[in-house]
Amino acid sequence: FTGSAFGSAAIWQYESLKSRVQTYFEEARADWLDKIRPQKRGDFRKQVNSWWNNLTEGQRTVTGIIAANVFVFCLWRLPGMRRIMFTYFTSDPSSRALCSPMLLSTFSHFSLFHMAANMYVLWSFSSSIVSLLGCEQFVAVYLSAGVISTFVSYVAKMATGRFEPSLGA
């Protein structure tokens, strides 16, 4: 999984750079269109765009990860989703589904305080780590760390003989 994550991140990084270069040249040719194009309207949209544009690249990257964690947290609160959540969003070495929970449990939190603390810490160091690695490599590190920590959890559970489900990275 880790090799695939970093290989995919390298391809994503290349395509992102290629897209930025193409966009630069397209914008240079299309500058004159901005003068004749009507301006966008709507105060809420302008506020959201202003907020988004003021974020660092790291904060933009982490916003998606935080949104995924909040979405999964909300799914835990729906009674009809409990069976699916226990099957795919908790890690248990005695379960029939072993591989997908290794990744999906990374986004799973049951306690609001635990999720909020984790997301705060992720948000606080996101700018510096993304500026060091790039957003693509950061996502690969985040996903790989989640899968590796779940694997270590599997090994520890097998060694101790305790097979209760767990969640989180």
Domains held by the chain: number: 1
Specify the pLDDT at position 14.
Answer: 86
Task: Dump pLDDT digits (tens) for 62-100.
Answer: 999 999 999 999 999 999 998 898 888 888 887 777 788
Quote the tokens at residue 126: 């996101």
* Residue 64 forms part of a structural domain: no
Is residue 134 one of the residues assigned to a domain? Answer: yes
Residues of the chain with pLDDT below 50 are none
The answer to the question of residue 42 being in a domain is no
Residue 91 falls inside a structural domain = no
What's the domain range around 156? 111-160
Does residue 115 sit within a domain?
Answer: yes
Indicate the pTM of the whole model. 0.76
Q: Which residues pair with 91 in a beta bridge?
A: 166
Q: Is residue 131 part of a domain?
A: yes
Q: Is residue 28 part of a domain?
A: no
Which CA distances in Å does 127 have to 54, 57, 142, 149? 12, 7, 14, 23
Check residue 34 and give its pLDDT.
59
Question: Residue 168: inside a domain, yes or no?
Answer: no
| Helix, strand, or coil (residue 157) | helix
